[in-house]
Structure 1
Amino acid sequence: PEPSRTNMITAIRRTLEHELRVNPRLLIFGEDVGPKGGVHTATMGLQEAFGEARVFDTSLSEEGIVGRAVGMALAGLMPVAEIQFRKYADPATEQLNNCGTIRWRTANRFAAPIVVRMPGGFAKVGDPWHSVTDEVRFVHAIGWQVAFPSNAEDAVGLLRAAMRSHNPTIFFEHRLLLDHPSARRPYPGDDYVLPFGRARLVRSGEALTVVTWGAMVDRCERAAKAAGVDAEILDLRTLRPWDRDAVLASVRKTKRCLVVHEDALTAGFGAEIAATLVREAFFDLDAPIERLAVPDIPIPYNLGLLAATVPGVDQIAEKMHDLVTF
């Protein structure tokens, strides 16, 4: 790793640049990814370096972006498609769903290993389009891998793994984390790859297991310090596959579990984790499994309402205290 820290957006750009250099089959495209370099600057300078044939703009059609990527992948290319914001992916739902089942539908004779980069989540402001995550929809999509890194180092390793995988991948880039100090890490090098399905032990503890991912990782760390709780924090990093073994081992040790995520509470991925724990570790528990997530409302514009909607440090700390004193 390099000595200085870099932000997540720069780490993503450097990873894309290296893979473009070493893999002649790799292409990057989407709305404004060419001369403009993307609305978040993830592809800034890449068209100039590699040409319009490999880094280029598309029309305003998410269905067309994903459909084009699938066709290119079937022809042997490695497409990396950018959807500007998570909510914009909804018009491409049919193409995304069909992509995930290609290997199954063709008895593994064909595959479409595309990577769909997708920024989303709250940032300095909120709204019902740019600020949603709704990652569980893609966990439901059969055949897809889902990555949701919380820091620059993990983003490098997971993005590189996705671009070298035989399976299609949804790669979430949380808007707040793109330049947030908590997500900055030394660039881990051009050969760094992280396998999917392995959680990161953020912090060891004995009193409580906290399972989280994305922008909630930093908030959970700060909440544990604020509450004075000896919490063990696991960053899942990927949701499909997810590290069941790490979560089960931690909960069997601490006897308590809190799941914190930014997706909606009802049927969010935290419900799957809770159901797994109830089935596999019920007799190890000393307290109910708790979930803290966004209530079933749109992400608001108003900053005060946004702060009340997305789980904050104080809310998480209070929930931690309630669990350890149950």
Structure 2
Amino acid sequence: QFRKYADPATEQLKNTGTIRWRTANKFAAPMVVRMPGGFAKCGDPWHSESNEVFFARMIGWQVAYPSNAEDATGLLRSALRSNDPTIFFEHRNLLDSKYARKPYPGDQFVVPFGKAKLLKEGSDVTIVTWGAMCERAEEAAEQSDASVEVIDLRSIMPWDKEMVFESVKKTSRCLIVHEDTSTAGFSAEISSRISDELFRYLDAPVKCLTMPDIPVPYNVGLMNSVLPDVGKIRREIRNLMEF
């Protein structure tokens, strides 16, 4: 079922993540919870909610958030082989998206958790994103006058700190884009780590582009107006370059 309908099961899900710790590794719960969510051709607070950060904070869980069918194949195979439980987000908009359609990568294709993908190389600004925002970030990067590097995290728990840090050291500017709401979103975690550990490398503050702290609107026009889009991403790139 959709992301929002997992809320009544949160106590059971949280307890599942700690079963190895609670039993001194005598028992495990290698389960995979496939969970659709995110914006689509219509919106509402139930089917369109993202709120992936809630699960990223559940100790013991892995959280996958692929942006295309190829990575989804590899991540799902990793999740099924893992001894840890996994929340596997399937973005609604990507289920019928040309961007997400990729050839089947084969029966042995595996994407490790915590290993991001470099979507576009650049030298001026680093964009860190995941899920359906990858397509918009790539498009904005292509349209920008700046040289923009785009990283698709693919999983947010764990997340590829090494790739992100190496990129930010190179570009000295970072923009994090996600469709979850702003306050305490996962962008805040990434931003705080960069600001804490890479402050001397930064030429501008780390920026986060997210949805505002509101429910996903029913009206399609309103929904699209509050989501990060190509224009908003380009504006933030420009602001970082002009800082």
TM-score (norm 2): 0.99
Separation in 1, partners of 2:115, 2:170: 18
Q: How does 1:5-16 map to 2 (within 5 A)?
A: none
Query: Does 1:286 pair with 2:187?
Result: no
Where structure 1 has 5 or more consecutive residues not aligned to the other structure, the ranges are: 1-83
Post-superposition shift, 1:224? 1.3
Query: Does 1:253 pair with 2:170?
Result: yes
Deviation >4 Å, runs of 4+:
none
Q: How does 1:213-292 map to 2 (within 5 A)?
A: 213-292=130-209
Post-superposition shift, 1:135? 0.2
Residue in structure 2 matched with residue 314 of structure 1 by the alignment: 231
Separation in 1, partners of 2:218, 2:144: 29
Post-superposition shift, 1:109? 0.6
**8 A Cα contact 1:125 1:303, kept in partner:** yes
Post-superposition shift, 1:324? 1.3
Post-superposition shift, 1:197? 0.3
Query: Does 1:121 pair with 2:38?
Result: yes
Post-superposition shift, 1:250? 0.3
Separation in 2, partners of 1:96, 1:214: 22
Separation in 2, partners of 1:303, 1:323: 30
Residue in structure 1 matched with residue 99 of structure 2 by the alignment: 182
Identity in percent: 61
Separation in 2, partners of 1:325, 1:151: 33
Q: How does 1:290-301 map to 2 (within 5 A)?
A: 290-301=207-218
Post-superposition shift, 1:172? 0.2
Residue in structure 1 matched with residue 88 of structure 2 by the alignment: 171
Q: How does 1:1-326 map to 2 (within 5 A)?
A: 84-326=1-243
**8 A Cα contact 1:227 1:318, kept in partner:** no
TM-score (norm 1): 0.74
Post-superposition shift, 1:227? 2.3
Post-superposition shift, 1:229? 2.4
Separation in 1, partners of 2:211, 2:106: 36
- State the secondary structure of the residue aligned to 2:209: strand
Cα deviation code 1:102-152 (max 9, x no counterpart): 000001110011000000000001100000110000000000000000001
Greater CA drift, 227-236 or 250-259: 227-236
RMSD: 0.6
Larger Cα-atom Rg: 1
Identify the structure with bigger relative contact order (alpha carbons < 8 Å, sequence gap 6+): 2
Amino acid at match of 2:236: K
- State the secondary structure of the residue aligned to 2:180: strand
Post-superposition shift, 1:228? 2.5
- State the secondary structure of the residue aligned to 2:198: helix
Amino acid at match of 2:212: P
- State the secondary structure of the residue aligned to 1:186: coil
Separation in 2, partners of 1:86, 1:139: 14
Separation in 1, partners of 2:33, 2:146: 38
